[in-house]
Structure 1
Amino acid sequence: MEKGECILYPCYFNASLSRDEGRRVPRTLGVKGPGAADIERALKRLGIACQAEEHHHPAYWARHEGRVVATYSGKKTALIKKVARNMEVKR
């Protein structure tokens, strides 16, 4: 990973997971069953360059949900909240 890149996994936005299970946003901002494509769409709406990859979260190696690498120089937590606010509502 290069400087200025953030890796985002679907579990960060999954409202059905607990914080201990990997959710990084409040349940009110989370969505049901998010995928890498949902994250990618939200990033594109924000005008942030990104690329989807076929990797998995280390804690969920059996799930093949993918991940998205975003070019972002700010704090990762700020990016996660921006993406969560711009994801299509599946709450």
Structure 2
Amino acid sequence: MPKENKYIIWPSYLDSSLSKNKGRKISKNKAIVKPSIEEIVMAAKKLGLNPIVEEKKYPKLWYEQTKRVVILKKENKRKILKLISDEIIKMRQKSM
């Protein structure tokens, strides 16, 4: 159960290959292809959000085994999702 000062981030929120009905929360041009939990955690750490990984199933994709990241509430959730996505894009570009 989420706490008052925390947000839950599912990889589906950032995944450009999913529709809004399947869970994507940001626009397709800001979203990324198949974000991993590790990428989300690294991006959240760089943003100072103290991420914690939990093994849970995403309700909209209940048939897939997934994990989620719990982070501190510092901004509007959509803004945080965009910041995490931007950070993952930067990390991916550096590793090329």
TM-score exceeds 0.5: yes
Partner SS, residue 49 of structure 1? coil
Range 80-89 or range 48-57, more displaced: 80-89
Match of 1:54 in 2: 55
Structure 1: segments with no counterpart, 5+ residues? none
Partners of 1:15 and 1:27 within 8 A in 2: yes
Partners of 1:8 and 1:70 within 8 A in 2: yes
RMSD: 1.5
Q: Distance in 2 between matches of 1:31 and 1:89?
A: 10
Q: Distance in 1 between matches of 2:21 and 2:73?
A: 25
Give the structure-2-normalised TM-score.
0.83
Matching residue within 74, 89, 92 for 1:89 = 92
Structure 2: segments with no counterpart, 5+ residues? none
Give the structure-1-normalised TM-score.
0.87
Match of 1:36 in 2: 37
Deviation at 1:50, TM superposition (A): 1.2
Which structure shows the bigger proportion of residues in helix conformation? 2
Match of 2:80 in 1: 79
Once the two structures are superposed, what CA deviation does each residue of 1:34-60 show, in whole Å capped at 9, x if it has no partner?
Answer: 122211111011111110111121111
The runs of at least 4 aligned residues of structure 1 exceeding 3 Å deviation read none
Q: Distance in 2 between matches of 1:20 and 1:84?
A: 19
Give the % identical residues.
26
